[in-house]
Structure 1
Amino acid sequence: MRIDVATLFPEMCERVMSESIIGRARRRGHIEFCAHQIRDYTLNRQKQVDDYPYGGGHGMIMQAQPIYDCCQDVIRQVEQAGHARPHVVFLTAAGQPWNEEHCKRLATYDSLLLVCGHYEGIDERVIEALADEEISIGDYVLTGGELAALVVADSVFRLCPGVLSSPEGYEEESYYSGLLEYPQYSRPEEWNGRSVPPVLLSGHHENIAKWRKEQALERTRSRRPDLYREYQKKVNGENS
């Protein structure tokens, strides 16, 4: 899978996506990532990418032309490299809330192009012209779309073959099945007067699996009743 990012801060994106598990997967050729500087597509010497909003208001708006030309060139590069035309995602406050279901869906694409906003927003016309969808990672505002794009890229990449050692690495984690993950413990058996639950020391795999499922259900019910209700609907075959 390949993910491209159109951004004003490509070095920031490259640095993050070159570290840890994702960085190792890139070096091994399991995934591809590339960040592109939107300023390289401006038509003036000042490399200006923003201007005042029509109708007045605070701050500056990212202009349509540099973003459009950058994305069109990225699409051309991706297709020339043998990938399908990328699915274009704009990271905006007005986008769909990001969750694991969207993550699994985007992981089925051969390539993605994530577009990062900045300043007070993006000229709506370029979103209308290019976006296949808009995504928001939460009900809060960031100084730019780079962190949001990195969240999306990381969460999608980790579902790709070869990134984690096995599918169990993500299938048993929070949200993938619709539940929060069960509590985890490591050595020593006792720490600061707190002991590991005896069932985890029993070696009885069926009992351990049962305990973990019960813990996941109870943790989801108490901490995320919204997720628990949706999970119950799926289990009972009800429509949302």
Structure 2
Amino acid sequence: MHIDIITCLPRLLDSPFSHSIMKRAQEKGLATIEVHDLRDYSTLNQRQTDDYAFGGGAGMVMMIEPIDQCISHLQSKRTYDEIIYMTPDGEPFNQKMANQLSLSQNFIILCGHYKGIDERVREYFITKEISLGDYVISGGELAAAVVTDALVRLVPGVLNDETSALTDSFQDNLLAPPVYTRPEEYKGMKVPEILMTGHHANIEEWRLQKAIERTQQRRPDILKDSGWLKKQSDRSNKRQ
């Protein structure tokens, strides 16, 4: 997977890709993440990338020319599956979208800043707009890091145990069940006995039940339309 991130504040992204899973993915050659300074593509004095909005109003707007120059330069090197813009009014990002995008290879992610970008960029260059949620942060850099992390960890070989990503929250429209590790007992707090039995079928049934319970308690909105409650009821009827 190759991801090019365009930003006017590249140093904000130094840390997220220099540690842990993202670092190992790049060292293994399974992912390439390149951060491009938009100011390098400015033709104005002081490497300016923003200007006042036509019609007035508060806030500066990122200009179309440097963005066009940067995207065009990147497109001369490879073909991109998506050119993504991180914006609060984009499509909400979720695990289903991450799974779908992870099947592709090449992405550009444009980080917004200031009051936003010239609308013509969105009309003529952007193929997908993504939001992390109904709130506003100072720029798209942290959001781009989140999306990049979510995609790269799904690339085969990135995680040491490839089944790990398949059991994450939201993969089956359920939150992940509780997990435990050593010691078996700590200050009177014990690990559920079923997890110590070695009976894998019963353990998996317990984990599914706990996942459904946790989802019902914390995110009933995703459980309602998932079909899990009906499956659970059908299994109970069969046992009876």
Which residue of structure 2 lines up, in the alignment, with residue 87 of structure 1? 82
Q: Cα deviations across residues 170-214 of structure 1 (Å, max 9, x unaligned)?
A: 001101111100001111111232110000011111110000000
Q: Which amino acid aligns with 1:168?
A: T
**CA displacement at 1:18 relative to structure 2:** 1.9
Q: Which secondary structure does the structure 1 equivalent of 2:174 belong to?
A: coil
Q: 1:163 aligns with which of 147, 158, 161?
A: 158
**CA displacement at 1:111 relative to structure 2:** 0.5
Q: Cα deviations across residues 136-158 of structure 1 (Å, max 9, x unaligned)?
A: 01111110000000000000000
What is the aligned-residue RMSD (CA, Å)?
A: 1.5
Q: Cα deviations across residues 116-145 of structure 1 (Å, max 9, x unaligned)?
A: 000111111111111111000111111000
Which residue of structure 1 lines up, in the alignment, with residue 133 of structure 2? 138
* Residues 147 and 210 of structure 1: CA distance in aligned 2, closer, same or farther (over 3 Å): same
Would you say 1:117 and 2:117 are equivalent positions? no
Which residue of structure 2 lines up, in the alignment, with residue 38 of structure 1? 38
Q: 1:185 aligns with which of 168, 180, 183?
A: 180
**CA displacement at 1:10 relative to structure 2:** 2.1
Do the aligned partners of 1:18 and 1:26 also contact (CA within 8 Å) in 2?
no
Q: Which amino acid aligns with 1:227?
A: I
**CA displacement at 1:109 relative to structure 2:** 1.0
TM-score, normalised relative to structure 1? 0.92
Instruction: Give, in whole Å, the separation in 2 of the partners of 1:137 and 1:227.
Output: 17
**CA displacement at 1:235 relative to structure 2:** 7.0
Moved more, 10-19 or 137-146: 10-19
**CA displacement at 1:16 relative to structure 2:** 1.4
Q: Cα deviations across residues 33-79 of structure 1 (Å, max 9, x unaligned)?
A: 111110011111211111111122111111111111111111222x1
Matches for 1:11-30 after TM superposition, within 5 Å: 11-30=11-30
* Residues 128 and 171 of structure 1: CA distance in aligned 2, closer, same or farther (over 3 Å): same
Q: 2:122 aligns with which of 127, 136, 139?
A: 127
Runs of 5+ in structure 1 lacking a partner? none
Which residue of structure 1 lines up, in the alignment, with residue 58 of structure 2? 58
Do the aligned partners of 2:5 and 2:108 also contact (CA within 8 Å) in 1?
yes
Which residue of structure 2 lines up, in the alignment, with residue 105 of structure 1? 100
Q: Which secondary structure does the structure 1 equivalent of 2:225 belong to?
A: helix
**CA displacement at 1:85 relative to structure 2:** 2.5
Moved more, 49-58 or 178-187: 49-58
Instruction: Give, in whole Å, the separation in 2 of the partners of 1:219 and 1:36.
Output: 41
Q: Which amino acid aligns with 1:91?
A: M
Runs of 5+ in structure 2 lacking a partner? 232-240
Which residue of structure 2 lines up, in the alignment, with residue 218 of structure 1? 213
Which residue of structure 2 lines up, in the alignment, with residue 76 of structure 1? 76
**CA displacement at 1:167 relative to structure 2:** 2.5
Do the aligned partners of 2:223 and 2:229 also contact (CA within 8 Å) in 1?
no
**CA displacement at 1:233 relative to structure 2:** 7.6
Instruction: Give, in whole Å, the separation in 1 of the partners of 2:230 and 2:80.
Output: 36
Do the aligned partners of 1:96 and 1:134 also contact (CA within 8 Å) in 2?
yes
Which residue of structure 1 lines up, in the alignment, with residue 202 of structure 2? 207
* Residues 174 and 153 of structure 1: CA distance in aligned 2, closer, same or farther (over 3 Å): same
Do the aligned partners of 2:7 and 2:37 also contact (CA within 8 Å) in 1?
yes
